Chain A
């Protein structure tokens, strides 16, 4: 049974970053209504189906299509055909199988970083916003610090460290940790804003006065109000991380061949792009369509969670 005060609407003047700084109301999302509005957006639904299909194909690729490193019969570097949908590469490997296998890495890193970074950002943001004080100031300076470090170059330096003990930073797990560590800060700001504006709200006061612990106040009364922005930020993150991860791999600092990634397949194709364009077209198309689908889902979620926003960024 939900306590009644959880429904209270908090009103906050949105700070910097929002055009004009108008008054925006926020409240815990009503998930059933959100789902209904989301399902009403055809583009977002189609994009979700595409992503589900892609994820399933990538996960099942090796069992279902074939080993991405298996050598095929017939001519190497043959174009797309019925047998090899995306053609074959210079070692006569099936490009379709390699694209799906690379997708597993990109999707895993994208989702992994998003979960980790969301966890870090939420914890740091709520401590900085709810507790505040000296600790909060220090935490926000740390956030400022991360915001001035250019993401791609710093990530490149970090993964080029190559190994910390048993952990290879160029492998998906290592890259996931590095990127999570670099990319949690925007969410920390968002969560801090929500906590700051709600910590003096009456329903929080009420919870405090009946002896609720800080953790439970945050979890049950404050953070649900930030659920919308957290989810929206999450979809933006997945897309951004996939772009950064494939850029890292493209520059040669990701998983090393023969492990296929979208980035290293593209980098490999550059020298012979004119003769064998399918080697360039398909891995890149995979990145593009995945990121596009994630953006469409993200926009659908944004409209569903925050109908007010819709008119401005349709």
Chain B
């Protein structure tokens, strides 16, 4: 690793690893507190069995069995302690609604969300970096104004409305006018076409587009700002004075230095999507974490809600940590501070 020399004395890799571990340990109490808040909020919702109790077709023994199974009679802090220990050990309980283990539900939903988020990540970063670089390298041009103007629209667009309008314009209207359907608006595959990649892409296109517009808008502005700033630096003037072309100056000198802040923004934005794709997944009936969460919320499915929130919080902390470390690797000036 060529950059390792800038770590200073001692074993550089070990020092960096120690820093990473220290950060990791710091995040443990924060995650614990987050689970306390989550648990408190969910408990505030009251008796989870209230509907079952009112249902005359369910025998009292069944209710008592459920109370015992979930320890609903215990004091709150005992319930929390037991839930936490179980959660850490990977015993996430059973869904009230479907009677399936929460782990099975998450194992079914998480890959779908990761697929969606991954696609959005690829599309959004490439478009955002491209648009940002174009805007910054021709600062003040018509192209720059147009991309900045589009970014405005993207930032202000409510995802749920954008998703619906996309459905209306790209699916409903062509279907009625020409009896032609290129994109699908519900689920992951059409019935009978499971595993067909083309069919999957036709289902993914609109949710990915819906989720991407906001990220492209924010990230392209960050990329633009970062690059404009990098182009002001002395080393750029030096490179230009030595006769490097504009293209070379941007690609070889300024771009890498403008990527640091982007890494943080992109990592946090991507992690937020795992929890924030709730609305989009709902609109497109995408069988991911968001759909799982909303249906759990509507059915008072406490074990699912609790594990879901805890998992997403851990994910956000993890992404935070990764972004922090990646930023340090990219920028030697802050590497070990």
Contacts and interface: CB of A to CB of B under 8 A. Distances in A.
A250 B160 contact: yes
Interface in B217-242: 221-222, 224-226, 228-230
Interface in A36-62: none
Interface string B277-290: 01100110000000
A284 B41 contact: no
B316 interface: yes
A274 B172 contact: yes
A261 to B, nearest CB: 13
B79 interface: no
A251 interface: yes
Contacts, number: 149
A233 interface: no
B261 interface: yes
A149 B164 contact: no
B161 interface: yes
Contacts of B316: 148, 150
Interface in A268-313: 269-270, 273-274, 277, 280-281, 284-285, 287-288, 291-292, 294-296, 311-313
Contact of A152 (B45, B260, B279): B279
Give chain B's interface secondary structure class: helix
A274 B282 contact: no
Interface in B125-143: 139
Contacts of B31: 148
Contact of B279 (A16, A251, A292): A251
Contacts of A27: none
Contact of B297 (A156, A274, A280, A294): A156
A14 B229 CA distance: 14
A154 B276 contact: no
Contact of A247 (B29, B139, B257, B279): B279
A148 B34 contact: yes
Given A20-B229, A274-B168, A161 B44 contact: yes
B164 A273 contact: yes
Contacts of B228: 311-312
Select the residue from B159, B221, B279, B305 with max chain A CB neighbours within 10 A: B279
Given A145-B34, A150-B312, A295-B156, A160 B279 contact: no
B278 A152 contact: yes
Given A141-B30, A150-B276, A270 B164 contact: yes
Interface stretch (B60-68, B105-113, B147-155, B190-198): B147-155
B160 A266 contact: yes
Interface string A137-167: 0000100110011111110111011101000
A314 interface: yes
Interface string B284-320: 0000000001100110000001001100110011001
Contacts of B278: 152-153, 156, 251
A20 B330 CA distance: 12
B177 to A, nearest CB: 11
A82 B207 CA distance: 36
A154 B41 contact: yes
Contacts of B226: 19-20
B275 interface: yes
Contacts of A150: 272, 275-276, 309, 312-313, 316
A229 to B, nearest CB: 17
A29 interface: no
A79 interface: no
Nearest to A314: B148
Contacts of A149: 34, 37-38, 309, 313
A224 interface: no
Interface in A237-266: 239, 243, 246-247, 250-253, 263, 266
Contacts of A312: 224-225, 228-229
A152 to B, nearest CB: 6
B155 A295 contact: yes
A156 B295 CA distance: 12
B41 A158 contact: yes
A285 B226 CA distance: 32
B157 interface: yes
Interface string B45-56: 110000000000
A153 B309 contact: yes
B33 interface: yes
Contact of B158 (A277, A291, A294): A291
B158 A292 contact: no
A277 B33 contact: no
A157 B230 contact: no
30 contacts: A20-B229, A20-B257, A141-B29, A148-B313, A148-B317, A149-B38, A150-B272, A150-B309, A150-B312, A152-B276, A153-B312, A154-B309, A156-B293, A156-B297, A157-B41, A157-B309, A158-B41, A160-B45, A247-B279, A251-B279, A273-B167, A273-B172, A280-B161, A280-B164, A280-B168, A285-B161, A288-B158, A288-B161, A312-B229, A313-B225
Interface of A: 16-20, 22, 141, 144-145, 148-154, 156-158, 160-162, 164, 239, 243, 246-247, 250-253, 263, 266, 269-270, 273-274, 277, 280-281, 284-285, 287-288, 291-292, 294-296, 311-314
Interface of B: 29-31, 33-34, 37-38, 41-42, 44-46, 139, 144, 148, 152-153, 155-161, 164-165, 167-168, 172, 176, 221-222, 224-226, 228-230, 257-258, 260-261, 264, 272, 275-276, 278-279, 282-283, 293-294, 297-298, 305, 308-309, 312-313, 316-317, 320
Give the 4 A-B residue pairs with the shortest CB-CB distance, closest first.
A284-B161, A150-B275, A292-B156, A312-B225
